[in-house]
Amino acid sequence: MTPAETTTAGGALLVLAILLPAAGILASFALGGRNAEKIALGSAPLALLIALAILAEVWRSGRPIVYAIAGLSPPLGIALRADGISAAMLVTTALIIPAAGLYARAGFATPPEKRESRKALTFWIMLQAISAALAIVFVSGDLFNLYVALELLTFAAVPLACVEGRAETYAAALRYLLFALFGSIFYLLGCALLYGAFGTLDIALLAERMRPLPAVTAAAALMTAGLLAKTALFPLHIWLPPAHANAPAPASAVLSGLVVKGSFFLTVRLWFYVLPALPAAGFDAILGALGSAAVVFGSVLALRQARLKLLIAYSTIAQIGYLFLIFPLASGLHPWTVDGWNGGMMQVLAHAFAKAAMFLAAGLLYESLGHDKIAKFSGAARAMPMTFLTLGLGGLSLMGLPPSGGFAAKWLLLRASVASGQWFWALVLLAGGLLAAGYVYRILAPALSSHPVVLKAPPRRAGEAIALTLALVAVALGFAPESFFQLIAIGRPGLATAGLP
């Protein structure tokens, strides 16, 4: 966006995407816990319609849509901006959050005969707060506003991680909070350096004024380090497994599927939108190396876990690693840039749906078996076939096997790696797929045995249907047409020059 641009057609939808969950939070506080669930779930269809309308407008126009708040363009005003990846992430959020909410009704509903509980009120308000914070992350065009959005996201996610009030959840949430706060300090210091150097934090204006200065290099390093801590990229990952594994299943689905994507999304905004003109070969290689280490380290640790939720949490570390291969494979203007970009963005979407589905399935297993110890899954697949089908389909995407979104993502990244001559990343992709096959096999092999199993409670069919639907979406992404990849490239600087049709 240039300073002369103002609100475009459909720009008001960006405001609605933020205001709807924010209004839901206020209404939930005003009307109480008994109504918070109705507000959160009742507003979900409207949120999805708004997200789809934004996606349709971006797709129709072939360019980002913009809303200049109060009619003032940057630097005097603040602009909201949605491009292709923003629209795709808004739709993903509008699908996963209500799915988690519908699943959570069994544990966080407030029936008429029961008193209102603080736990239920907290859950439904924080779920809406995450929706609002993610909407701001995906449509904000200003680095300071993105900082505010990330803080809102953190302070909504931390209570969700410890909403059950157990000692281990408090400890995990506190560690999560400390990492997030240190990350915020680094990010904010970087923003201060950029503002001092260029007098603005608007992404489009910064991109126009950017030039290699020592202050810019320091800002880039500080902001990236802070965002990596929030994203839980190796070796800053130690807060994630206990936070995700000890949270309630619907909270784990949202934390793993969506929340960690917020800080990664901002990392992408920083390097591909604000700093693309800088010589960043060293940073690209570092981020790619850290991502590769995460793939291997997270997968090996996942193989060693005795509990299903911990295994899935450690696999999140590995799958996050794949995301960071986008930096060496999609930077610059090269014939392989399009494949690298499309593969990285597809990995974001496929992982979101697959991991949300697997955490929900893990919750169902815990409810029916009374535990999530993998060694004691013998014969469980015969009693809960839909649940293990969900785990299998989610694992299919994590492994990168066809037909799945994970396969499409890893195939595109592999093509970019080969075309660019960066063979090391190809080896990482192949090794990561084999390791993922190992830990998915560990889940399914004992469950498929003929050993009889006694369930403590019958599986919730509605919960199984929700989890399976998310897993099927992860698989369906593997059939995405070429026009979908053209959509997620809209607004990416320089991508048309790199060879986009």
Q: What is the pLDDT of residues 139-179, one digit of tens each?
A: 998 999 999 999 999 999 999 988 887 888 899 899 999 99
What is the structure's pLDDT at 94?
96
Q: Does residue 500 surpass a pLDDT of 80?
A: no
CA angle 120, 125, 127 (to 5 degrees): 95
Are 349 and 477 within 8 A, CB to CB? yes
pLDDT of residue 4 exceeding 50: no
| Mean of pLDDT values over 428-451 | 90
What's this model's pTM, rounded to 2 decimal places? 0.93
Dist. CA 28–CA 44, nearest whole Å: 14
SS3 at position 471: helix
Q: Give the count of beta carbons closer than 10 Å to the beta carbon of residue 467.
A: 31
Cβ atoms of 379 and 453 within 8 Å: the answer is yes
pLDDT digits (tens, 9 = 90+) for 198-233: 888 989 888 888 888 888 989 999 999 999 999 999
Lowest mean pLDDT among 114-118, 387-391, 445-449, 465-469: 114-118
d(CA 336, CA 47): 36
Per-residue confidence at 416, pLDDT binned at 50, 70, 90? very high
pLDDT of residue 336: 83
Cβ atoms within 10 A of the Cβ of 9, count?
11
CB atoms within 10 A of CB 238: 13
Contact between 398 and 311 under an 8 Å Cβ cutoff? The reply is no
Across 30-34, 355-359, 423-427, least confident range: 30-34
Residue 43: CA count within 13 A, CB half-sphere: 27
Is the distance from CB of 340 to CB of 413 less than 8 angstroms?
yes
- The confidence score (pLDDT) of residue 13 equals 92
